[in-house]
């Protein structure tokens, strides 16, 4: 290691980079650091007297830290060892210490250890060196671009003198350049090198105090430029036909301004060669803006601008940040930054500092949201599977007639709020959630609306069978996509929101409530429970695996501990053992059930609820008995149809719905008196409230055809028997006219049943 900084033979020297060849050999060769090595300075006296103690050289790249170490190596009589903190560890330190100890014991010779990038060593590595610095076995000469008071072990700093090297001014850089051009041994003094007016000054200016950057640029410019050989000389060529460097002595080499500009990239050469300085600084800037610290953001911005960073690069990163870290929390952020970037392009420096600063301060003080990252979640799904476009979303302008493309698409602007629930994701991703608005800024304002629409979309899509509220409207013709389409066209979303609010108002849940949602296929009450009970438990029972998968897919944005628990069962309520197995919870504070119609023995429902509810727990059921449903006679009366015919039709309808044989078992529902009696007998305090319900409902010609089909419809055949044929046909015709004008007001009554244990 002693030979690292010793004089090299000519052949070896020629093969080294210019910046290495031109390293100062004596103190007189050092440029721009007179404040520490000028005449009479402490460090100069210590080096000349060979009485150097441990020192740390601190300064930006290219200011001569390693060069000063080379001067010390050539001046002192001590042995010289070198380590690079990036490449060496404790083992290397011990080997150096062993050699130094041998020199001291055997030859009474001191050892100077130069450690480049000393701040890169971790605490353990720095501690390994500490005792040997303290007892004088080695004299440390450390070099670092980072503030040693922060990045170097305090104990090591306290045993060393800190000398700060400064970036060279243009005068010092020009002196270095001219010395290089005149030095025949190590520089380019053997050739006639000339620069176009302003070219050398450009290299000096862009180097911004970094001598290494300047020398690297000069080397690149000179050794890649064309040259003119002296008269009579023949150039040496490679096998490929190119000129061989170096040319013969006396060759004329001219450096154009274009060559100079290409040889020194404005920013890349201002940072350390591996890019750490560059990327660390921009990283500090981005993290300061993201962390909403305008003071730190301005500091790092000023540092980049002062160092010569390309403003286009800074603006590019701020534009990215405006979308990535501010996003919809402040949608104006990207417009502000882009406008500032355009303003900068028009005015340039120095006035361009103002739009730079404005963009920086706007982003640093803006509310933050990174929800735009949800795009990458969607991208993962695309990479998993190339799902087909749902039929109703396909282009109807080409294949509507042949394939039915576009059929069933709902035009949102046709609705009062310019929105209607509709499936937009592929069928395989039905219910999947990618975007969840944050709670800050603009997103905080739209969050509830976005989530509400998402939940209503899911509830309508997944609640095909469970969302029926009246037998006539959702008959066999309403199955599949057509029935779903009709529910969307109607005011179903408004109705679902109303039902949800009624149930939760009756339940009085708290943030820590444990809530069980039977018949949770549509997810409506489950999502509301998650929102209202973030510190509790939300569990649901669904009828099939498909519904479970859809619900869990929608919950994929939650952490594992925040997701709802979902079980598949044909039962409405589980027993204690099943509940504990499915949800690790045997009792709940609330059981909430929204079921327009279902058939179960009231006493069984009451006993199951009693078993599953904790003390003071509440059972809430919102249902719609058939006897309280809408009647065609009422629809006709509201349209001023014949009162006499309406009275006869109403009488026939009441008779129809009073006979259980006319209804399918699943449409029978629960008798409210029996339900109240069963829960009171089980020890519950019961409260019943009748709710007036209505919605704008789309009824199609298919619905009418089915209702009035006397062979397939129980209702139709019963009405024909009770009414005269001409009245029956007249009613059918009147309804055709009514539905042709658009959605029909549909009214019925629901019962909100609550029972407290």
SS3 466: coil
Predicted TM-score (pTM) above 0.85: no
Q: In this structure, what are the phi and psi dihedrals at residue 346, rounded to the nearest 5 degrees?
A: -80, -35
Q: Which helix (DSSP H) or strand (DSSP E) does residue 592 occupy?
A: strand 588-594
Cβ–Cβ under 8 Å, residues 26 and 75 = yes
Q: Is the peptide bond before 31 cis (omega within 30 degrees of 0)?
A: no
Q: What distance in Å separates the CA atoms of residue 264 and residue 617, rounded to the nearest whole number?
A: 76
Q: Regarding predicted confidence, which is higher, 432 or 25?
A: 25
pLDDT of 309 reads 79
- Cα 370 to its chain centre, rounded Å, is 4
- Would you mind telling me the total number of residues written for the chain in this entry? 757
- List residues bridging with 81 in a β-sheet: 113
Place of tokens 């991703």: 429
- List residues bridging with 175 in a β-sheet: none
Q: Tens of pLDDT along 166-181?
A: 888 889 899 999 999 9
Tokens of 466: 């469970």
Q: What distance in Å separates the CA atoms of residue 182 and residue 15, rounded to the nearest whole number?
A: 19
Q: Where residue 464 falls among pLDDT bands split at 50, 70, 90? A: very low
Cβ–Cβ under 8 Å, residues 240 and 180 = no
Q: Give the DSSP letter of residue 584.
A: S
Nearest to 288 by CA among 299, 278, 279: 299
Cβ–Cβ under 8 Å, residues 1 and 82 = yes
- With both helix axes pointing from N to C terminus, report the angle between 333-347 and 311-321 in degrees, rounded to the nearest 10: 170
Nearest to 524 by CA among 486, 477, 492: 492
Q: Tens of pLDDT along 345-395?
A: 888 888 889 999 999 999 999 999 998 888 888 888 888 877 788 877 887
Q: Where residue 247 falls among pLDDT bands split at 50, 70, 90? A: confident
Q: Tens of pLDDT along 494-515?
A: 788 889 999 999 998 988 889 9
Tokens of 182: 């005149």
Q: What distance in Å separates the CA atoms of residue 542 and residue 566, rounded to the nearest whole number?
A: 7
CA atoms within 13 A on the CB side of 195: 21
SS3 263: helix
pLDDT of 740 reads 84
Q: Give the DSSP letter of residue 265.
A: -
Nearest to 420 by CA among 501, 504, 494, 515: 494
Q: What distance in Å separates the CA atoms of residue 78 and residue 138, rounded to the nearest whole number?
A: 10
CB atoms within 10 A of CB 40: 6
User: 436 pLDDT exceeds 80?
Assistant: no
Helix ranges (H only) for 555-707 are: 576-583, 602-612, 632-638, 643-658, 672-681, 701-707
The pLDDT of 110-138, averaged and rounded, is 86
Q: What distance in Å separates the CA atoms of residue 699 and residue 704, rounded to the nearest whole number?
A: 8
Which conformational region is residue 569 in: left (phi greater than 0), alpha (psi within -120 to 50 degrees), or beta? beta
- DSSP 3-state percent helix, strand, coil across the chain (nearest 5): 55, 15, 35
Helix ranges (H only) for 108-147 are: 123-134
pLDDT of 562 reads 76
The pLDDT of 725-742, averaged and rounded, is 88
Nearest to 55 by CA among 75, 33, 36: 36
Q: Which helix (DSSP H) or strand (DSSP E) does residue 178 occupy?
A: helix 170-182
Q: Where residue 462 falls among pLDDT bands split at 50, 70, 90? A: low
pLDDT-wise least confident of 300-309, 422-431, 585-594? 422-431
Most confident of 221-235, 290-304, 463-477: 290-304
pLDDT of 507 reads 92
Rg of the chain taking only CA atoms, in angstroms = 42
């Amino acid at each position: 290691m002693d030979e690292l900084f010793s004089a090299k033979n000519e052949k070896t020297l020629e093969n080294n980079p210019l910046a290495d060849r031109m390293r100062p050999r004596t103190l007189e060769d050092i440029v721009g650091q007179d404040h520490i090595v000028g005449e009479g300075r402490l460090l100069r006296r210590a080096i000349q007297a060979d009485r150097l103690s441990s020192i740390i050289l601190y300064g930006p790249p290219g200011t001569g830290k390693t060069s000063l170490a080379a001067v010390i190596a050539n001046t002192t009589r001590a042995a010289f060892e070198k380590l690079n903190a990036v490449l060496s560890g404790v083992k290397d330190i011990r080997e150096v210490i062993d050699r130094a100890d041998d020199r001291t014991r055997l030859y009474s010779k001191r050892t100077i250890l130069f450690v480049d990038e000393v701040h890169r060593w971790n605490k353990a590595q720095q501690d390994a060196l500490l005792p040997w610095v303290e007892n004088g076995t080695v004299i440390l000469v450390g070099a670092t671009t980072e503030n040693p008071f922060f990045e170097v072990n305090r104990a090591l700093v306290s045993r060393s003198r800190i000398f700060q090297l400064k970036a060279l001014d243009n005068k010092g850089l020009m002196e270095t350049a001219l010395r290089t051009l005149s030095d025949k041994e190590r520089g380019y003094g053997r050739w006639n090198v000339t620069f176009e007016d302003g070219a050398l000054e450009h290299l000096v200016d862009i180097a911004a105090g970094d001598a290494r950057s300047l020398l690297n640029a000069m080397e690149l410019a000179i050794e890649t430029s064309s040259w003119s050989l002296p008269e009579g000389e023949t150039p040496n060529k490679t096998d490929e036909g190119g000129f061989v460097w170096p040319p013969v002595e006396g060759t004329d080499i001219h450096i154009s301004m274009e060559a100079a500009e290409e040889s020194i990239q404005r920013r890349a050469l201002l940072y350390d060669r591996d890019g750490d300085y560059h990327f660390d600084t921009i990283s500090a800037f981005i993290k300061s803006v993201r962390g909403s610290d305008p003071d730190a953001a301005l500091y790092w911005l000023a540092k980049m601008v002062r160092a010569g960073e390309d403003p286009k690069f800074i603006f590019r990163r701020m534009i990215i940040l405006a979308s990535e870290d501010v996003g919809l929390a402040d949608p104006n952020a990207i417009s502000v930054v882009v406008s500032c970037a355009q303003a900068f392009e028009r005015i340039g420096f120095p006035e361009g500092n103002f739009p730079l600063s404005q963009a920086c301060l706007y982003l640093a003080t803006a509310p933050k949201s990174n929800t735009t990252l949800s795009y990458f979640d969607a991208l993962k799904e695309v990479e998993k599977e190339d799902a087909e476009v749902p039929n109703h979303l396909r282009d109807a302008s080409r294949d509507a007639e042949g394939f039915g493309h576009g059929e069933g698409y709902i035009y949102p602007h046709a609705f009062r709020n310019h929105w209607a629930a509709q499936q937009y994701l592929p069928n395989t991703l039905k219910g999947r959630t990618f975007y969840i608005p944050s709670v800050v800024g603009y997103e905080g304002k739209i969050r509830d609306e976005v989530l509400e629409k998402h939940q209503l979309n899911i509830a309508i899509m997944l609640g095909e069978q469970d969302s029926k509220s009246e037998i006539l409207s959702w008959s066999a013709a309403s199955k599949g996509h057509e029935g779903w389409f009709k529910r969307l066209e109607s005011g179903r979303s408004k109705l679902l929101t109303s039902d949800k609010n009624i149930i939760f108002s009756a339940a009085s849940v708290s943030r820590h409530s444990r809530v069980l949602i039977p018949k949770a296929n549509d997810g409506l009450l489950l999502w509301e429970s998650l929102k209202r009970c973030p510190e509790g438990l939300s569990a649901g029972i669904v009828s099939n695996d498909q519904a479970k998968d859809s619900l869990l897919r929608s919950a994929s944005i939650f952490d594992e501990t925040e997701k709802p628990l979902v079980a598949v069962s044909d039962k409405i309520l589980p027993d204690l053992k099943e509940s504990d197995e499915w949800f690790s919870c045997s009792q709940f504070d609330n059981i909430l059930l929204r079921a327009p119609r279902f058939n179960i023995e009231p006493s069984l429902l009451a006993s199951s609820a009693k078993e599953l509810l904790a003390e003071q727990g509440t059972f809430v059921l919102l249902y719609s008995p058939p006897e309280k449903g809408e009647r065609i006679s009422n629809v006709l009366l509201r349209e001023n149809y014949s009162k006499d015919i309406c009275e006869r039709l109403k009488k026939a309808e009441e008779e129809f719905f009073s006979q259980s044989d006319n209804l399918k078992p699943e449409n029978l529902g629960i008798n409210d008196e029996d339900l109240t009696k069963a829960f009171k007998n089980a020890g519950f305090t019961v409260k019943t409230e009748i709710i007036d319900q209505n919605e704008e409902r789309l009824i199609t010609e298919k619905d009418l055809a089915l209702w009035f089909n006397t062979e397939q419809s129980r209702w139709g055949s019963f009405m024909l028997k009770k009414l005269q044929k001409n009245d029956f046909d007249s009613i059918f015709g009147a309804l055709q006219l009514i539905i042709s004008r658009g959605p029909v007001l549909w009214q019925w009554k629901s019962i909100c049943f609550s029972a407290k244990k």
